């Protein structure tokens, strides 16, 4: 071939491949409920346009098509075999004039560290708990069932909520393997709620419930282009959730819109005598946060941009500066701060987590009763040592470190806990917000998703989850744009129990940017 002819041949081939890839992604997103939200589905149920059973079946079919076949996201560990039967019952209730609330008939996925007392196991992603059946629902699960939500499936997660060992890959578990990012399949879904984030983004469910100790709701929300709410610790009960840290753990909603996340948040709140942290929420918790979804919610707010995460990625920085201009145009005053908590805060948090991990895991294993497959942390460590898959890619250093710790009465734990609370709260977020008279703090949630690497582990570039995680204070992340088709989020965090204010600011930003993009399951970066 002559050079010109060769060039034209190659160009035609490339164009043809791109067109085929585009058609393939269009086919994968040929779904009648693509990007549907709670209010749209509820309206359809009320008008008779479709039934809960039809919608549930459609999502089950999509899980089979996208998660088990096709792109094989591996975001779902197990589908609820009773999902359609539950949908039928909820349809019958609607026909009889009974509607339980905004979540009636809404499919939802639970991270698989959240107990369900049904035909599904609760595994934390670990082969050690492959057949573990809790003796009762978690409080979160019970509230969702009472509200009429359909527990569609259990989501894959970073095993043991990403606190098992060093150099782990987010979204990998011994039970289900590696969850993929639905935007580019070779890239990582981030955080331990990886399956929850990927499933919501890929339209395998309307909603998901994730959990966070530090970053595990906001990071997968960032990488998967969705909204995540990490509430104040104590706003939502943790009873029946496999723990890491009594001080920092919380569950929270993950959705494609802030409205859906907020409607779900109100369903989950309330005092639970089985979780003493929730006692503090009695004066603060609401059952409906939707009044704070205000288009003018940014107006008059004083906001600080936390600049420490900047400087790592120029394109992220550019999106942040654009977001600041948007907030200013909506009536906010924005200042800059470069520090929040003392540098030593993280070390105290780590020690608190290790002590509380040992205590919490042993208590959880006891809650499973006499037929528990694992009775204590010693047995878990021994199981992993003998298993052919569990330690194939990374170790269990954090389990061993936790197991070596003294009890919660030890001086080492009590000192670390006092230091953590003082540094993260009084000397951290509370101090900054008082000093600068702030309503909220913003920062980039993270970078575009990195490439998955089982041998070297995660490759974090930047993040801002720690100040809110260490203090146990709320954090909301909203998509703010994308970099080469990979989404990036903006975080809004602040004082304890400041969810109403954060929702106002985050909603005003979301509605004026609408940066959420639907994933197309690109095989690699070149597509």
Active-site residues, by number, are 111, 192, 216
Closest CA to 509 of 460, 454, 440, 422: 440
* Cα dihedral 215, 440, 261, 317 sign: negative
Number of H helices, E strands in the chain: 17, 13
Retrieve residue 73's tokens. Answer: 């996201």
Angstrom distance (rounded) from CA 212 to CA 331: 32
Instruction: Assign 179 to helix, strand or coil.
Output: coil
Angstrom distance (rounded) from CA 403 to CA 395: 14
Q: Which residues contact 186 (CB under 8 A, 6 or more apart)?
A: 180, 451, 452, 523, 524, 525
Angstrom distance (rounded) from CA 206 to CA 397: 36
Task: Answer whether 206's CB lies under 8 Å from 37's CB.
Answer: yes
| Burial group, residue 255, by CB count within 10 angstroms (0-12, 13-18, 19+) | buried
Residue whose entry in the numeric block shows the structure tokens 């900054």: 432
Phi-psi category of residue 19: left, alpha or beta, with phi > 0 → left and psi -120 to 50 → alpha = alpha
Q: How far is CA 432 from the centre of its chain?
A: 26
Retrieve residue 95's tokens. Answer: 């026909």
Instruction: Assign 147 to helix, strand or coil.
Output: coil
Residue whose entry in the numeric block shows the structure tokens 């209010």: 39
What are the DSSP calls for 235-293, one per residue?
SB--TTB--S-TTT-EEEEEESSHHHHHHHHHHHBS-BTTBGGGGGGGGT--S--GGG-
User: What distances in angstroms separate CA 286 from CA 109, 235, 270, 505, one per listed residue?
Assistant: 23, 9, 8, 18
User: What distances in angstroms separate CA 499 from CA 66, 97, 261, 420, 425, one per listed residue?
Assistant: 34, 33, 12, 22, 16
């Amino acid at each position: 071939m002559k050079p010109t002819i060769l060039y034209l041949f190659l160009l035609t081939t490339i164009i043809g491949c791109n067109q085929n890839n585009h058609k393939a992604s269009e086919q994968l997103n040929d779904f009648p409920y693509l990007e549907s939200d709670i209010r749209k589905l509820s309206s359809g149920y009320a008008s008779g346009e479709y039934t809960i059973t039809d919608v549930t079946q459609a999502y089950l079919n999509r899980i089979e098509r996208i998660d088990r076949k096709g792109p094989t996201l591996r975001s779902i560990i197990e589908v609820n075999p009773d999902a359609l039967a539950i949908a039928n019952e909820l349809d019958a209730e609607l026909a009889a004039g009974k509607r339980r609330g905004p979540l009636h008939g809404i499919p939802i996925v639970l991270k698989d560290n959240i107990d369900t007392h049904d035909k599904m196991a609760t595994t934390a992603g670990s082969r050690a708990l492959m057949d573990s059946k809790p003796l009762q629902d978690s409080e979160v699960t019970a509230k969702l069932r009472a509200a009429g939500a359909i527990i569609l499936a259990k989501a894959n997660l970073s095993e043991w909520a990403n606190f098992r060992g060093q150099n782990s890959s987010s979204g990998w578990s011994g039970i289900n393997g590696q969850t993929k990012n639905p935007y580019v399949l070779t890239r990582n879904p981030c955080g331990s709620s990886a399956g929850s984030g990927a499933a919501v983004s890929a339209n395998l469910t309307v909603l998901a419930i994730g959990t966070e100790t530090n970053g595990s709701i906001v990071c997968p929300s960032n990488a998967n282009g969705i909204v995540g709410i990490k509430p104040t610790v104590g706003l939502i009960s943790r009873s029946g959730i496999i723990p890491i840290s009594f001080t920092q753990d919380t569950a929270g909603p993950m959705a494609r819109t802030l409205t859906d996340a907020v409607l779900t948040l109100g369903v989950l709140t309330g005092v639970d005598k089985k979780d003493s942290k929730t006692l503090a929420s009695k004066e603060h918790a609401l059952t409906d946060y939707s009044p704070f979804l205000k288009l003018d919610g940014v107006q008059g707010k004083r906001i600080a941009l936390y600049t420490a995460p900047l400087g790592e990625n120029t394109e992220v920085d550019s999106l942040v500066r654009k977001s600041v201009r948007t907030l200013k145009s909506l009536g906010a005053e924005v200042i800059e701060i470069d520090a929040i908590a003392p540098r030593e805060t993280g070390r105290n948090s780590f020690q608190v987590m290790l002590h509380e991990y040992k205590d919490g895991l042993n208590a959880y294993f006891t809650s499973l009763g006499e037929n528990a497959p694992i009775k204590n942390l010693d047995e878990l460590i021994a199981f992993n040592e003998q298993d052919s898959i569990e330690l194939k890619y990374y170790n269990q250093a954090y389990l061993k470190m936790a197991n070596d710790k003294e009890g919660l009465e030890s001086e080492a734990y009590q000192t670390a806990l006092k230091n953590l609370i003082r540094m993260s709260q009084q000397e951290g977020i509370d101090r900054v917000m008082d000093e600068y008279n702030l309503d909220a703090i913003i920062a980039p949630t993270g970078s575009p998703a990195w490439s998955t690497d089982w041998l070297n582990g995660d490759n974090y570039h930047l993040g801002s989850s720690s100040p809110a995680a260490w203090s146990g204070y709320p954090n909301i992340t909203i998509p703010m744009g994308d970099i080469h088709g990979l989404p990036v989020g903006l975080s809004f965090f602040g004082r304890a129990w400041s969810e109403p204010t954060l929702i106002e600011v985050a909603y005003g930003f979301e509605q004026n940017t609408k940066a959420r993009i639907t994933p197309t399951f690109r095989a690699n970066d070149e597509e």
